[in-house]
Copies of this chain bind each other. A is one copy, B any other.
Amino acid sequence: MENTENALKKRMEPVSLRQVKIEDSFWSPRQRNIIDTVVPYQWDALNDSIPGAEPSHTIENFRIAAGEAEGEYYGMVFQDSDLGKWLETVGFVLSIDRDEKLEAIADEVIGLLGRAQQPDGYLNTYYTVKEPDARWTNLRDNHELYCAGHLMEAAVAYFEATGKRQFLDIMCRYADYIGAVFGAEPGKKPGYDGHPEVELALVKLYQATGNEKYLELSKFFVDERGRQPHFFDKEAEEREEKQVKSRPKRFYDYFQAHLPVREQETAEGHSVRAVYLYSAMADLAADYNDPELLDICKKLWKDVTRRKMYVTGGIGSSSHGERFTVPFDLPNDRAYAETCASIGLMFWAQRMLQIEADRDYADVMELALYNGVLSGISLDGKSYFYVNPLEVWPDTANFRHDMSSVKVTRQPWFGCACCPPNIARLIASLGQYAYSVNSGGQELYVHLYVGSKLSADIGGRSVQLTQETNYPWDGRASISLGGMEQPVEFALALRVPSWCGKAVVTVNGEDVAAAPAENGYVYIRRVWHDGDRVELSMAMEVAVVRSHPNVRENAGKVALKRGPIVFCLEEADNGANLQDIVLPADARLEARFEEGLLGGVTVITGEALRTDPEDIDDDALYIAGAAARRTVPASIRAIPYYAWSNRGPGEMTVWIRSQA
């Protein structure tokens, strides 16, 4: 990576979602599913019109707050954020495909939001309806600014999709009011939310409006966090909170408020909160040319990705506190690895990547996307994992209390609150993650290989890019350029992922002189003409992956990967007792695409070993004798991790014992 001092400005900016249209055999059906099924379903949920489901009451809360309905507030204290996430997804969806009917529904609910907003700009249904005199009395627990942040993100997405300002104006009024309440000035509260979110949302609001007050407010929240005297202590005292006799250890770690952020060199606490905060920190480091803050971001990045991340891009290994624990503590059978945390890791990675064109960020972003995030949703889009274990034994997981967070099958939508809408907004906005442009340096970056059409603006010149690929099953991508009024000189920067041992690039059929990749990006700078065609061919071999030896749970084990996809063994293919399977040192592993399996996936097959059933004495739990038990050959078939648990419950493991 570059020295911090040299990386004070963002290297690039992600393209707007309106500039990208995904046309991809892997991703288009998934986006279609979000548009056609998930968005309407969630709208019904918000309106309590799903028979048999627990009521959400979200829209009703806004009606009550607007004085248009009678009744009590109902739901979690952060219920408003459900509408925020839904409206943000709608914004993304309208960027892809401007649907009048959906837009009319959104406009109507935006009108309601406006009517629920208080005269001073405040907009939170919990406090407005339930505790009108208690605003801002429990920043630590009550998600007031968190809800504001999700509505701000939604307003920005909706504005970018439609150009309509109503929602944006509502949220600017709210942000202006928040800025009048919070700040370092006398009479203002030196507070910040227990769940970071508003910080990154204010940066988006600044980007959409150009109003630097929002950026400054975000910086205030970030810099105030964890300072002494501690705001959470002060507000607890003010509301006369009963002092807990012995406060749990690491209480403020949970909120990333144990230290001022510039002193936080290790990732601690609730993992979703952490990566939302780090995303805002990366934004601010870039926008303020703040090398100190960037340096902290890089230290945290190393801590997370080198010591606290599952091979699937899952983070937060403890169910209790949904949190990071200690370095290398990555149990597979009790992994928490919340879907939302992997999504937040993508947010953070994307921001780091814009600062520094280093594939390390894009590799992690892609790893999380295809594994820890995508495992969160079933192939039919109808059920979800919050928790993404890397190893499941149904009998044990269903019995043991210390595995109670591990579900052996995905759960239906309405049982959940945070992960499903987070997956929806991520998949709907995927186009934003694929490309970036550096107009100054006239560079166009391809981060993700996804079939798509991009309309880019490079230094004021229009360029159309069409990408065709069978990724993630195939390592080739064809990129053709067009739509240029005249030839344009720029560098096309193609990411060569770290999993790829050998990549060949041709332009119009001719090998590009092998310029060594810079931080994982191959830069092809030339004057491009309409019809130019770039072919990238990345060797996509089956990889046998090992952990750092300090990862206790993986000692002596390997995982199979091919390209960005992590594989797993499922009982459906390999029988029970997966822990008995041993991969020989010389195992020949082959990859094959199976059209009819799990919506079309590449599988990895090979010969492994299992204990010879005839060498097992069921009357002996332990046997003595130096020699190992006899083994017999056993064919194995591994499927992509994201696709597990789509064929009924059964055992699953990512890590496989290795003879070598």
Contacts and interface: CB of A to CB of B under 8 A. Distances in A.
A325 interface: yes
A624 B306 contact: no
Nearest to A321: B401
A452 to B, nearest CB: 28
Contacts of A624: 499, 543-546, 561
A104 interface: no
Interface string A641-660: 00000000000000001101
Nearest to A403: B402
Contact of A552 (B309, B549, B556, B579): B579
A400 B318 contact: yes
Contact of A623 (B545, B579, B619, B621): B545
Interface string A191-212: 0000000000000000000000
A628 B545 CA distance: 10
Interface string A301-314: 01001110101000
B319 A402 contact: yes
Interface in A304-343: 305-307, 309, 311, 318-321, 325-326, 329, 334
Contacts of A305: 621
Interface stretch (A131-139, A286-294, A391-399): A391-399
A636 to B, nearest CB: 15
A629 interface: yes
Given A326-B395, A552-B393, A547 B402 contact: no
A618 B579 contact: no
B400 A329 contact: yes
Contact of A396 (B325, B396, B400, B660): B325
Interface size class on chain A is: 35 or more
B400 A657 contact: no
Interface string A421-438: 000000000000000000
Given A329-B396, A396-B329, A660-B627, A402 B545 contact: no
Given A325-B399, A401-B320, A621 B306 contact: yes
A503 B238 CA distance: 77
How many copies of the polypeptide does the oligomer hold? 2
Given A393-B552, A396-B329, A555-B580, A620 B306 contact: yes
A337 to B, nearest CB: 14
B326 A399 contact: yes
Given A318-B400, A326-B396, A334-B402, A577 B549 contact: yes
A541 to B, nearest CB: 9
Interface in A546-570: 546-552, 555-556, 559, 561
A543 B499 CA distance: 43
A585 interface: yes
A625 interface: yes
Interface in A570-602: 577, 579-580, 582, 585, 587
A616 interface: yes
A611 interface: yes
Given A552-B579, A660-B627, A660-B628, A622 B401 contact: no
Nearest to A651: B552
B580 A547 contact: no
Contacts of A580: 549-550, 555
Nearest to A553: B579
Interface of A: 302, 305-307, 309, 311, 318-321, 325-326, 329, 334, 393, 395-396, 399-403, 499, 543-552, 555-556, 559, 561, 577, 579-580, 582, 585, 587, 611, 616-629, 657-658, 660
14 contacts: A306-B618, A311-B621, A318-B401, A320-B402, A329-B399, A334-B402, A396-B552, A546-B628, A547-B621, A547-B622, A548-B617, A549-B579, A549-B629, A559-B622
